[in-house]
Amino acid sequence: MTSSAKKIARLAEKSKTRTPRGIKLRGGLLFPSVIAIVLVLGSALIGYARQTIEDRSAADITNATYYLSFGVYVCDTWIDLPDTAVLDDLAEVREGAALVSGKPGVVEWQPQILSGQRRARVSAVLDLYALKLTETSLTFPASINDGAVLTEGSDACGGKGGSLFVDTWDVEGVDNERKTSIANLDSVRLDANGLAVALVFAPDGTEVPQPPAAGEVATLVNSGE
């Protein structure tokens, strides 16, 4: 073998055992750099998406109009309700809730406004009808049910007894079963579109259907009005 051939053979042998440090160094820096860039961009995109969702949700809530059906059930009868607020006996007209003209028992309300006043509760609806409610009595204004005053007791409803409670149905929600509240009745929360709310004075255990206006509200909600 010539000297040139021997040199080539030695170089080839060395190249097999030599560690490619330059290549390894460049590869080692490149991969972490790519990962770091991906993480930074991912965090930025997540932050942007969250901000966009929050902004859209806040705007939607601010501009939203919700509807609910309301009824007063006494013993075994629904009481006729007006479709305009009973202003004569109303302590104050609250912004954010109103009766829908031509649709008795239908209430429209703005969740953002009522929540801001801490009035996203049944009390906001009672105010529209000038109904005065305590834990044991219900007083109607003169223009509703002849201004009757109902007080809990065993002699009410023809001797069958009478108790006050509020039934609610989240008609458009996943859980639309009836929920009954027997205390702090004016503080029952309004928290969804399409609610059905019944203020009841009747014997304990009375099965009350949804208010007559529930179908009207379902139509309003589903039509997006």
Count the Cβ atoms, other than its own, within 10 Å of residue 150. Answer: 20
Confidence band for 31, pLDDT divided at 50, 70 and 90: low
Q: Where are the domains of the chain?
A: 3-59, 64-223
**Residue 162: which of 102, 73, 33, 38 has the closest Cα?**
73
Please tell me the distance from the alpha carbon of residue 49 to that of residue 148, in angstroms, as a whole number.
55
Is the per-residue pLDDT at 10 higher than 50? yes
Write down the pLDDT at residue 54.
42
Confidence band for 91, pLDDT divided at 50, 70 and 90: low
Q: Which of 53-67, 106-120, 165-179 has the lowest mean pLDDT?
A: 53-67
Please tell me the distance from the alpha carbon of residue 29 to that of residue 27, in angstroms, as a whole number.
6
Distance from chain centroid for Cα 61: 9
Q: For 45-77, what is each residue's pLDDT tens digit? A: 655 545 544 443 444 455 689 999 999 999 999
The larger pLDDT score, comparing residue 141 to residue 44, is at 141
Q: Which long-range contacts (CB under 8 A, 24 or more apart) does 222-225 make?
A: none
The mean pLDDT of the chain is: 81
